[in-house]
Amino acid sequence: MTSTDILNKVGIFTSLDCEIFDKHTLRQKLNKNDILLKEGEVCKSFYFVLEGSFVQFQSKDIDEQIVDLHLNNEWMFNQESLTEQSPSMTCIRAFSKSEILSLSLNSFHFLCSKSQAFLQFGKILNQTKYRTSLYDSSLNPSDKYKFINNTKPELTRAFPLKIIASYLKITPETLSRVRAAN
């Protein structure tokens, strides 16, 4: 995927914008279970998933509570930590062998100073709208499963039942029943 393809997902950018973007991003390869962001660290970058999958979670005692799931061709970051420059309350871990494009916050600010087109990144900062719809509404387990199948159907193919259940805040047994009924 080229920088033009990546930026076209955000908005309208010139070829010069794409060249500048290329010079200020870094490609990284990660192995399964590599940690991209640890709890307590400040998130200092936006990450675009070129290939692979990631789990964003909070540790609760010995369990991991899934906060978000990330797949190919999407931006990921810890929003609160990135925007407030505060310690992250979540961890981002590679669920599979992956490749990402990293854009540091400092580079992002530089890009905005060179071209106002990069202000369109405000759209990706509003990613919590999707999660808010999923958790703040009074969706029952079946509705939650239908919601993710309608908005991000790849999730149910890329992640095991236990992770999807944690993400939906339901038990794996409940999710099994919901899947059987659909």
* Model confidence at 130: pLDDT above 60: no
Between CA 129 and CA 11 the distance in angstroms is 18
User: Which structural domain, as residue segments, surrounds residue 180?
Assistant: 127-182
24 pLDDT above the threshold of 70: yes
For residue 154, how many C-alpha atoms fall within 13 Å in the half-sphere facing its CB? 9
Number of domains within the chain: 2
pLDDT at 126 (0 to 100): 73
* Tokens (6 digits) for 167: 């993400």
Q: Are residues 152 and 107 in the same domain?
A: no
The continuous run of DSSP H or E covering 166 comes out as helix 161-168
**Residue 17 clears pLDDT 80, i.e. is over it:** yes
The pTM (predicted TM-score) of the whole model is 0.89
Structure confidence by residue, pLDDT tens digits, 92-124: 999 999 999 999 999 999 999 999 999 999 888
| Residue 175 sits in the same domain as residue 86 | no
